[in-house]
Amino acid sequence: MSEETASTFERSSAAKKAAIRVIIAWIVLPLFFLVTGGSLNWWEAWVYCVLILVPMTFFVSWMVRRDPVFFERRFKMKETEQAQRRLQVWSAPFFVAAFVVPGLDYRFRWSEPSFGVIIAAMAVCLGGYLAILRAFMENRWAGRIIETCADQEVIATGPYAIVRHPMYTGYIAMQLATPLALGSWWGLVPALAVFPVIAFRIRNEEEVLVRDLPGYEEYRQNVRFRLVPHVW
């Protein structure tokens, strides 16, 4: 197999996997909310699905044409760093609970945020998710696990010129707003775990990048803030 043929096959394989993930997401996310909420009348859940799944579908369609190999890095799930493997284990229940609790909240009417709060939270969710996608568009090495690649470069453009981890900024905003967007105050309780989880992940990630990615230390000196300008 020639190098060009291998590259074409790799791109085709990545595109197929990405398409399958999109289809699964369109099935699983609404089904998950239907099971936890127990009702088709939970309008907040269906609006939330549209806010997340529509931008995701457009992004995947665009990225498949531009850089399908990007998805190979995003599909890697097994962390190589032991500290990150431990973090995955103890943070997973909080992440799942942040989505399960709003469904139970709706089912048993534990809390009822106002319409204005719900709409504002939906706007934050959409903004946070678009920030994540924007970071992906700027940084083709933004994998799911913490590792460096042989040809990887330091990205210091776009949102990376403002903060070092714009993807996590968007993720935190989205994670905190999601329970309210789904109509639940109680869902905020497990969602708050996002702060120590991301803080720990960033600390470990930067240790790896300083160690393994040439130029990252200089970038870290030039872009001082991790998540929020003039805050942290």
Mean pLDDT, residues 59-83: 77
Cα gap 232→228, rounded to integer Å: 5
Cα gap 149→129, rounded to integer Å: 25
CB 154, CB 219: distance < 8 Å: yes
Per-residue pLDDT, 18:
84
Per-residue pLDDT, 1:
45
pLDDT in tens, 132-174: 999 999 988 877 777 777 778 899 999 999 999 999 999 999 9
> Nearest-5° angle of CA 8, CA 57, CA 6?
10
- Our CA dihedral for 194, 135, 49, 100, rounded to 10 degrees, sits at -10
Instruction: Tell me the pLDDT band of 28, cut-offs 50, 70 and 90.
Output: very high
For CA atoms 210, 216, 221, 226, give the dihedral sign. Answer: negative
Res 23 pLDDT > 80: yes
pTM metric for this prediction? 0.89
Mean pLDDT, residues 178-194: 96
Q: Tell me the domains of the chain and their CATH numbers.
A: 3-222 (1.20.120)
Instruction: Tell me the pLDDT band of 77, cut-offs 50, 70 and 90.
Output: low
% of the chain residues with pLDDT over 90:
62
Mean pLDDT, residues 16-45: 94
% of the chain residues with pLDDT over 70:
92
DSSP annotation of 159 reads: G
Element holding 148 (H helix, E strand): none
Res 64 pLDDT > 90: no
Cα gap 194→192, rounded to integer Å: 5
pLDDT in tens, 50-63: 999 999 999 998 88
Question: Which two tokens mark 102?
Answer: 């709003």
Mean pLDDT, residues 92-116: 95
CB 77, CB 145: distance < 8 Å: yes
Q: How far is CA 131 from the centre of its chain?
A: 10
